């Protein structure tokens, strides 16, 4: 009888805890930010970088939601700066007061596409892909994953590596969608800056929408670098974020605005 009594108490509390589970907020839209340095952001910080918008949150290094300010990323603290994330979020909100945007920063400066798969390490101690999946799932406990923003390619921008790039990108997207259990999760890739010398990668990236459904590519035309022929300057990083928002909205059918 004692065992039955204890088991009954166990079932009661189990059911009680399950009833208390908080479901993800359908008005909290979360986005995974992945790739290398231009997604992480290398633009110069300014006064705009310090401003908070309570509708825009970021998952910090400790996996805690906090108000989003630049720099969003923490891959290389000595060089991280303004990227496309916050301007993207502002465009996604527009005048919609009902929703909040949650950004999941997971980009790693300098990372080639080959390290964006299970078990691969970067800089000896980091696991970019595995970390992104873990952090995305943490974010999904609170909000609804609405899309992935990808900016990467500078580390693969040569005549040899570029030939294999689109196949690796398709594999990456398929892998992400499988691991996050969303077969048609919107995915937007960005072109690398046209200021990069010998730009081979963009010819591969622009083919993506023909290869996979619910994908799009953001143009980097007319965007400028910060003087190093590699990284977007602050205004261009923010413009890039706006372009990402435009493409994500198209993929989502502008449902966020209805």
**pLDDT, tens digit (0-9, with 9 covering 90-100), for 16-72:** 444 456 799 999 999 999 999 999 999 999 999 999 999 999 999 999 999 999 999
Q: Please check whether residue 1 lies inside any domain of the structure.
A: no
With cut-offs at 50, 70 and 90, classify the pLDDT of residue 111.
Answer: very high
Q: Please check whether residue 144 lies inside any domain of the structure.
A: yes
Q: State mean pLDDT over 181-205.
A: 96
Residue 19, CB-side half-sphere exposure with 13 Å CA sphere: 6
Q: Please check whether residue 10 lies inside any domain of the structure.
A: no
In contact, 168 and 129? CB cutoff 8 Å: no
pLDDT given at position 21: 65
Indicate the number of domains in the chain.
Answer: 1
Give the whole-angstrom CA distance, residue 90 versus residue 101: 8
Give the whole-angstrom CA distance, residue 235 versus residue 237: 6
Indicate if the alpha-carbon torsion angle 111, 114, 117, 118 is positive or negative.
Answer: negative
Q: Please check whether residue 128 lies inside any domain of the structure.
A: yes
The CATH number linked to 97 is 3.40.50.1110
pLDDT given at position 95: 86
In this prediction, what percent of the chain has a pLDDT beyond 90?
Answer: 87
Which tokens hold the place of 81? 């700066």
pLDDT given at position 124: 86
pLDDT given at position 125: 82
Residue 7 has pLDDT above 80, yes or no: no
Nearest of 83, 49, 81 to residue 67 by alpha carbon: 49
Rg of the chain in Å (alpha carbons): 20
The full length of the chain comes to 258
Q: Please check whether residue 103 lies inside any domain of the structure.
A: yes
Q: State mean pLDDT over 156-178.
A: 97
With cut-offs at 50, 70 and 90, classify the pLDDT of residue 152.
Answer: very high
Q: State mean pLDDT over 99-105.
A: 98
Residue 173, C-beta contacts closer than 8 angstroms, at least 6 positions apart: 148, 187, 212, 215
Q: Please check whether residue 17 lies inside any domain of the structure.
A: no
pLDDT given at position 22: 77
Q: Please check whether residue 4 lies inside any domain of the structure.
A: no
With cut-offs at 50, 70 and 90, classify the pLDDT of residue 5.
Answer: very low
Expressed as residue numbers, the domain containing 36 is 24-257
């Amino acid at each position: 009888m004692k065992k039955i009594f204890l088991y009954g108490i166990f079932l009661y509390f189990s059911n009680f805890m399950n009833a208390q589970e908080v479901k993800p907020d359908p008005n909290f839209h979360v986005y995974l930010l992945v790739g290398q340095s231009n997604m992480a952001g290398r633009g110069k910080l300014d006064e705009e970088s310090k401003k908070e918008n309570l509708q825009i949150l970021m998952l910090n290094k400790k996996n805690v939601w906090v108000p989003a300010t630049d720099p969003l990323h923490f891959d290389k603290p000595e060089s991280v700066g303004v990227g496309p994330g916050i301007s993207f979020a502002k465009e996604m909100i527009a005048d919609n007061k009902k929703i909040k945007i949650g950004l999941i920063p997971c980009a790693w400066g300098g990372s080639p596409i080959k390290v964006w798969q299970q078990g691969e390490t970067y800089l000896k101690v980091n696991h970019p892909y595995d970390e992104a999946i873990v952090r995305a799932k943490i974010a999904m406990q609170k909000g609804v994953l609405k899309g992935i923003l990808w900016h990467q390619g500078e580390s693969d921008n040569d005549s040899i590596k570029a030939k294999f790039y689109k196949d690796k990108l398709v594999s990456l997207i398929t892998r992400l969608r499988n691991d996050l259990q969303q077969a048609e999760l919107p995915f937007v890739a960005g072109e690398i800056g046209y200021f990069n010398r010998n730009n081979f990668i963009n010819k591969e990236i622009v083919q993506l929408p023909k290869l996979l459904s619910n994908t799009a590519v953001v143009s980097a035309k007319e965007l400028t670098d910060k003087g190093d022929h590699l990284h977007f300057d602050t205004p261009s990083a923010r413009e890039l974020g706006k372009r990402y928002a435009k493409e994500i909205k198209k993929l989502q059918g502008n449902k966020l605005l209805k």
